[in-house]
Structure 1
């Protein structure tokens, strides 16, 4: 029996409906208020997937919702009483109520209120926000005109003011310099750098520091960590034997690209289709190694047809999440249940990439590294760039040889000899790199339910998803066409996706918090107009990554304190308004880099082969085909940055795993952050951290003064700020306890000092060095040490 308007009101009151979002709150917006409810509670049975659609009813489109189906209309705009949807969501009959009880879904009173009021207001549908090309919105007016440092701040402040709140104050200058150093280069500032910034009160002090960090060679290393997560970069094949493969030149390409500020459109095109560019350079061929980063198998018994299907599907999944923040993997077996992606779209994209030569992959074996032809032998793009610099310097020096006296010429000759030696050394650093080779495209069929044995599906022509702007060309759509399509000015997703991830890197959350899902199951952006403004700014800047990064970190929003006031804790506990900065643990690689940096062990060489830090013996015991043992590096590679750590997919380095680094089997747009005893024990006992503490302790003992003076020096060296009296007291007590313990057990002191490769100064007392090492271990393990504030 259909409810009348009066009955609807009775149900509303009885269910507490009026306690939800009041109609007085203003016009309801479909994308923001209604789509999330329908997507969560209704689309599975009444959405895009035609195979699962019940009662032939679609609620994801306006046409489907208002269709007259034998006298029943789900949604009658303006008339909740005539709408079947209202009757069914308010029904108390278990056989009539929607969602049905067996679905495990249930509408809250507030959600029912929103649906009814939406219909009352006209049931207007909107195209999903992520599929509409962005346009530059007007910058909002704000009351506090003194606070914004630019347009970003005006968007942020307008939301804060609308909520009746105020931004957080600026962070203190010590916190600011640590924040921006970790965010832009992934390393801590030195005490001298902190002092210089704190004492520099000129108006452009912040901007000059930002520019210097953006120009640092370490900026590319920091940015590469996140990109390598996205493209699932690893040093091993992943499946079965998980053998090593040759791909480190691609990692160096990524680092160099960020350092050079390579335009993002060029960066994208070179990776997806560098091999298809006219007269492709060696660097562009290396970039095309992106297409080879997926997991592969070199087990002799694999079914070639099955694995070709696996590889093709993997590429579509990764492509869609990296550049579209799309979950196209859901369409491998059926039409997407929540978004417009169809199975046809999924396999049409496979067809675009069907020219990638995967047949040679099956010829690989159990060697380390395995062969994954096609491969090229080449120099790192970083080494190539340095060689070019050396050649320019040699030309200049040669021109100066005829000038000056004998002493000056001898100095120039020494410089020439040194540079020629460096050049010769670099030219010998050839490495193998998997690249993409285009062959005659394989025939791609739509695989019903993703079954590689089922050949009943239609042959697919290459195409992009049907609901997005289409590629206008005659002939076959290629990977180069696909890459260029991503960079079209009217593409709704590419620029939005990337600037949203940049915001995440510098605030701990994206403007759209679902970093890998811009679809109906993802969260509506908290600041959609700011997201679009940044997306347009990115495109109009010529896809200039550093430009957008600088805009973000120059904002007052970025410079806010991360301390939470009681009002913000109560009114905005999840920091949706960005009325304060985020506070979050450093990524795994940076935690290790920080310890190496403050100890003085860090080797800052950029690029090169993968490094192998200390690792527990026997960790690789279960790796077969071939069996292998892990040998840690006994040279400077031991102390290189975490971005260079050998990435074994099946047995990720334990330190990285303890701090939530991904195995990189799939795209990772957001790392989880856990808090476990294993992480705490890693900080205390991993040989890298023990050795870093010991080397740092040597530096402590080189300082003149009392124990208190040394503790204060240590605290500032690691944390950049002055230690408080209670902090000094705690460490002084720890030092006293350890001195006492090691004086009665000098053998234990010797064991502690025997960790790692760095030599122990003979002139230092073992008891004293061990005692200070224990103090340094404690400081390196502090939450503040591993947290970006």
Structure 2
């Protein structure tokens, strides 16, 4: 039906965001954590690591005493002498019966890795404790030659590394690029033409900082930060397993948005989510915060085995808790000691014991084929009108009950009962309609046993008490059982995990504003995660976050104020060759916007976006029949037919088993597990979605209406107006010509088939403005569709 368009969105093979294995080496000396540990972890720790039950030859290579031990008459490592070291002998052997790793392991060392290990032994085989378990220490700010470039000490760390490589940082991005970058990074929305104009014309020394402060103060900042947090905690509107029924949790999302907007200290943010119900006299919001403990996947199928699912839920909780707050993969310890990190199976179940006071009984009640699923305990959040109705109804109900009790006559008792039933039905109707949210209410903790090999049928394992991982010390509470609140306090305490947690989140802030983490794997700081490319910078950021009392906005501002952040993302062939993964940060990153922002951007440019903050989830257009395989019960998706249709992507109903196709096409996660870093793909499906999803067609139509009404008198003026609104810059001559050609091509097509023009201009819920010619509107809609498909429009740059 829709006519010829120019497809600017690049269509190619799926290219997922791949993490570099090697770290850019700036020093000649070998670093154990940077160069050696990753090789040993990838190739050796599986058989010669922390897991004692699967350790081969009683040889442990993940600790210094093990790798420098004696085996028979020879040492595993003979310091300074690789030819006398058993390790080097085995890894360099040509004998298939002797070479390590063995052929059947599926692992092998590259020649360069063997030489690196040889050099390490020659240099004395210096050992370092794993970087992620050592508290960051303050160091002096590096000195740089170019004193004019740095704005803050982030720039000193970046520039000092560049100068050692005889490289220069990229030039500062132009002001239009900067305001677009900042607007997307801090609010998830594009700047308005007026905001761009004001910033470009502001020549004051404080212009950039004023922009940063304004965006941080925007209520949309909390929405942008919430998108990332909800990925971490696997927030969704449905239970995930079996029927994937709805559950009540949207107020938790509002809590997260408000916490970021109010700049709640991150330690408090942590404490309230993990243990808000255990705080003295918890507030309403602190109770809502505990919804974190309830957003795991659950099954409400009538035939589930409670013991089996208690084990499943326990593993889910620990996977998420350790991934979110510790940057650890403790889920690997459900069945055995960790293969690569010093966590044990006992550590895993000791962590489970912290959450043993969460009532899981509601998950095992007899399932019903009704929606929504009740998952008590739930909190009722009545509106003012509902509160008023309740205050009127409940006294009447109480009086009637009292009167009924004292009444002796029977047609009179019947009348009272009839009136009482009517009032109670009205009261029940209020509860049924009212907004609800799952919360945590502590009960008597159940016993937690170590499950041998993770077998939920095996009760032979010992009972364990709540405890932090043994290698990280001990958490005392006298004779009292440790609680979730103790765990939350330990996470942010200086003498606990505080500085290590600060490092985890400093790395994630860097990822949000540079596209990659300083340490490449955001939820695994263990042996398989990869070392940071600039460990000293990461440590100083962690110390700042901790010493600034967990001030998130202050941390964000510090990062985006840096000159490093302001760099252009344009790269020279030399930069790409010398530093393909940009680990030296000698340029900014450019990448496609997250799924929600792609949607929000189109709605904002078109003028359709509803900017209301918070509230229940919404249901935008979705392909018919998409839920046809969703059973127990059967469901039919009904999209909203009011302004909810144009709410931000953050609020879209998150169906775990059937994620909205638009979100899925742009790599949003199903949120079955913690997602610390989304993949970034480039597929034909994404391009087709941008062209044909009803939301984007409707946005293009409303955008075209605005162009026709406000874009000027000539086609050239209108093209410039539309292009500027979509990209914040004026089009180049070649771009204008291409768009004008597209316009005229579609005019000709729609003039020959005006019924197609009517079909396009009347599609969608948003009413078409009166007095506009259908052919002109349809032709310009094809132009705006093309603009919304520009790579520049859907890319953060």
TM-score (norm 1): 0.90
Q: 2:765 is matched with which residue?
A: 757
Matched, 1:614 2:621: yes
Q: 1:487 is matched with which residue?
A: 492
Q: 2:729 aligns with which of 697, 703, 721?
A: 721
Flag the 1:692–1:668 CA change in 2: closer, same or farther, 3 A: same
Alignment of 1:377-776 (within 5 A): 377-378=380-381, 430-474=434-478, 475-490=480-495, 491=497, 492-703=499-710, 704-776=712-784
Q: 1:54 aligns with which of 26, 51, 56?
A: 56
Q: What SS does the aligned partner of 2:437 have?
A: strand
**Do the aligned partners of 2:186 and 2:216 also contact (CA within 8 Å) in 1?**
yes
Alignment: residue pair count: 727
**Do the aligned partners of 2:519 and 2:530 also contact (CA within 8 Å) in 1?**
yes
Per-residue CA shift, 1:384-433, capped at 9, x if unaligned?
9xxxxxxxxxxxxxxxxxxxxxxxxxxxxxxxxxxxxxxxxxx9995101
Work out the CA distance in 2 between the residues paired with 1:313 and 1:699.
Answer: 52
Flag the 1:45–1:235 CA change in 2: closer, same or farther, 3 A: same
Q: What SS does the aligned partner of 1:376 have?
A: strand
TM-score (norm 2): 0.89
Flag the 1:459–1:380 CA change in 2: closer, same or farther, 3 A: farther
Work out the CA distance in 2 between the residues paired with 1:560 and 1:67.
Answer: 49
**Do the aligned partners of 1:361 and 1:371 also contact (CA within 8 Å) in 2?**
no
Q: 1:268 aligns with which of 253, 267, 270?
A: 270
Per-residue CA shift, 1:337-392, capped at 9, x if unaligned?
111111111111001111111112223633221000010102699x99xxxxxxxx
Work out the CA distance in 2 between the residues paired with 1:81 and 1:682.
Answer: 60
Matched, 1:327 2:329: yes
Alignment of 1:152-231 (within 5 A): 152-231=154-233
**Do the aligned partners of 1:499 and 1:538 also contact (CA within 8 Å) in 2?**
yes
Structure 2: give runs of 5+ residues left out of the alignment.
1-21, 388-430
* Shift of residue 161, structure 1, vs aligned partner: 1.0
* Shift of residue 24, structure 1, vs aligned partner: 13
Q: 2:7 is matched with which residue?
A: none
**Do the aligned partners of 2:594 and 2:666 also contact (CA within 8 Å) in 1?**
yes
**Do the aligned partners of 2:265 and 2:549 also contact (CA within 8 Å) in 1?**
yes
* Shift of residue 754, structure 1, vs aligned partner: 2.4
Q: Which moved more, 1:219-228 or 1:23-32?
A: 23-32
* Shift of residue 546, structure 1, vs aligned partner: 0.2
Structure 1: give runs of 5+ residues left out of the alignment.
1-19, 385-426
Per-residue CA shift, 1:57-103, capped at 9, x if unaligned?
00101111122233232112222232111111121111011111111
Structure with the greater relative contact order (CA < 8 A, sep ≥ 6): 1 or 2?
2
Work out the CA distance in 2 between the residues paired with 1:726 and 1:114.
Answer: 52
Q: 1:374 aligns with which of 362, 371, 377?
A: 377
Q: Which moved more, 1:692-701 or 1:59-68?
A: 59-68
Q: 2:408 is matched with which residue?
A: none
Q: 2:144 aligns with which of 142, 145, 168?
A: 142
**Do the aligned partners of 2:746 and 2:782 also contact (CA within 8 Å) in 1?**
yes
Q: 1:11 is matched with which residue?
A: none
Q: 1:298 is matched with which residue?
A: 300
Per-residue CA shift, 1:514-545, capped at 9, x if unaligned?
11110011111011111110111001111000
Per-residue CA shift, 1:20-73, capped at 9, x if unaligned?
99x996432211111011001111111111111111000101111122233232
**Do the aligned partners of 1:234 and 1:649 also contact (CA within 8 Å) in 2?**
yes
Work out the CA distance in 1 between the residues paired with 2:26 and 2:602.
Answer: 55
Per-residue CA shift, 1:729-778, capped at 9, x if unaligned?
00000000100001111111122122210111231111110000011000
Q: 2:404 is matched with which residue?
A: none
* Shift of residue 147, structure 1, vs aligned partner: 0.2
**Do the aligned partners of 1:374 and 1:437 also contact (CA within 8 Å) in 2?**
yes
Alignment of 1:94-105 (within 5 A): 94-105=96-107
* Shift of residue 264, structure 1, vs aligned partner: 0.1
* Shift of residue 437, structure 1, vs aligned partner: 1.1
Per-residue CA shift, 1:608-644, capped at 9, x if unaligned?
0101000011111111111111111111111110000
Work out the CA distance in 1 between the residues paired with 2:258 and 2:206.
Answer: 28
* Shift of residue 124, structure 1, vs aligned partner: 2.0
Q: 2:794 is matched with which residue?
A: 786
